[in-house]
Amino acid sequence: MAETLQQTLDYINEILPNKMNSTTIITLINNEQRKLWRHMTSTSLYEMYTVANQELYTLPTDCDFEMITENGILVGGSTNGSTDQTFTAYKYAGKDDYAGDYVYYEGLDETFGIIPIPTVSNKPIHIRYQPRPTLFASTDTAVQFNLDEDYIDLIKFRVMSRICKSGNNPDPEMANNYEADAMELERKMKLRKARDKMKMNRRRISYREGWSG
């Protein structure tokens, strides 16, 4: 089960008793998420459906167009409800790229454009992307992080380091210890991510496998 904001606050305050108010700690948590999220979030799958003669589509609210993964769109070869899940990969086309067949591009207001324009409705469109993290308000204590546990631990170390540097009696030594813990954890996570990427690159891509939900 994913960790809630309240569980993270409880952990920080138990391990590092402090006088900082919860609102400020939540701000520090959000700041760390903003800095790190492009390296932290797991890939999500979003499904929508074609509309006949419609070229532009609205992305999910937590999706930045640039965070759609390579070959991130697959348009189904069957209509909604069919068991046929054969997909065709669409490639990214930038502003200076030739808009050939089977490409996706960024439209106005980060809409999602596809060429050729669908002629049939209800064909599934699957998009893989890195979602933006959940940024918390002070009332969101029961809301869960949309991050893996290791990334939440990294945020905890970074926030505790910031707390140690704050106030009338900062503790630079303790702050450096937490920062060192954060750097070591981040190093291990980046190494693991690089290894996972190498394994994925070696795999033969199947446009059936992994795109059905």
pLDDT tens digits, 19-40: 999 999 999 999 999 888 777 6
Q: What integer pLDDT is reported at residue 88 of this predicted model?
A: 81
What is the pLDDT confidence band of residue 86, given thresholds at 50, 70 and 90? low
The sign one gets for the Cα dihedral 33, 94, 59, 205 is negative
The verdict on residue 208 lying in a domain is no
Instruction: Spell out a b/e string for 28-41, using b for 16 or more CB atoms within 10 Å of the CB, else e.
Output: bbbebbeebbeebb
> How many Å apart are CA 114 and CA 101, to the nearest integer?
9
What is the rounded average pLDDT of the residues 116-141? 89
pLDDT of residue 206: 46
* Residue that is last in its domain, among 69, 95, 129: 129
Q: Are residues 105 and 48 located together in one domain of the fold? A: yes
**Do 60 and 120 sit in the same domain of this protein?**
yes
Q: Which residue has the higher pLDDT, 163 or 91?
A: 163
**pLDDT of 186:** 87
Q: What percent of the chain has pLDDT over 70?
A: 80
| pLDDT for 77 | 59
Q: Does the residue 60 lie in any domain?
A: yes
pLDDT of 137 reads 94
Range scoring the smallest mean pLDDT among 16-30, 45-59, 97-111, 195-209: 195-209
- The β-bridge partners of 97 are none
Judge if 54 and 117 occupy the same domain.
yes
pLDDT for residue 20: 94
Q: Answer yes or no: is pLDDT of 148 > 80.
A: no
| Same-domain check for residues 85 and 152 | no
Last residue of a domain, one of 97, 129, 161: 129
| Strand order through the sheet with 112-115 | 44-49, 124-129, 68-76, 87-92, 103-106, 112-115, 56-57
Q: What is the pLDDT of residue 198?
A: 72
Burial bucket for residue 68 (CB in 10 Å: 0-12, 13-18, 19+): buried
CA distance 74 to 9: 40
Domain of 52, in residue numbers: 44-129
Which of 9-18, 154-163, 171-180, 191-200 is least confident? 191-200
pLDDT of 79 higher than 70? no
The answer as to whether 24 is a domain residue is yes
Tell me: do 58 and 120 sit in the same domain: yes
CB 45 within 8 A of CB 127: yes
As a whole number, the mean pLDDT across the chain is: 83
Report how many domains make up the chain. 2
- 37 and 141 in a common domain: yes
Q: What single letter denotes the amino acid at residue 42?
A: S
Give the residue-averaged pLDDT of 123-131.
88
Q: Is 71 left (phi over 0), alpha (psi -120 to 50) or beta?
A: left
User: Same structural domain for residues 77 and 65?
Assistant: yes
State which amino acid sits at residue 83: T
Compute the distance between CA of residue 170 and CA of residue 187 in angstroms, rounded to an integer.
Answer: 27
pLDDT in tens, 61-77: 889 898 888 655 666 65
Asked whether the predicted pLDDT for residue 121 surpasses 50, the reply is yes
Question: Residue 48 burial (CB < 10 Å; 0-12/13-18/19+)?
Answer: middle
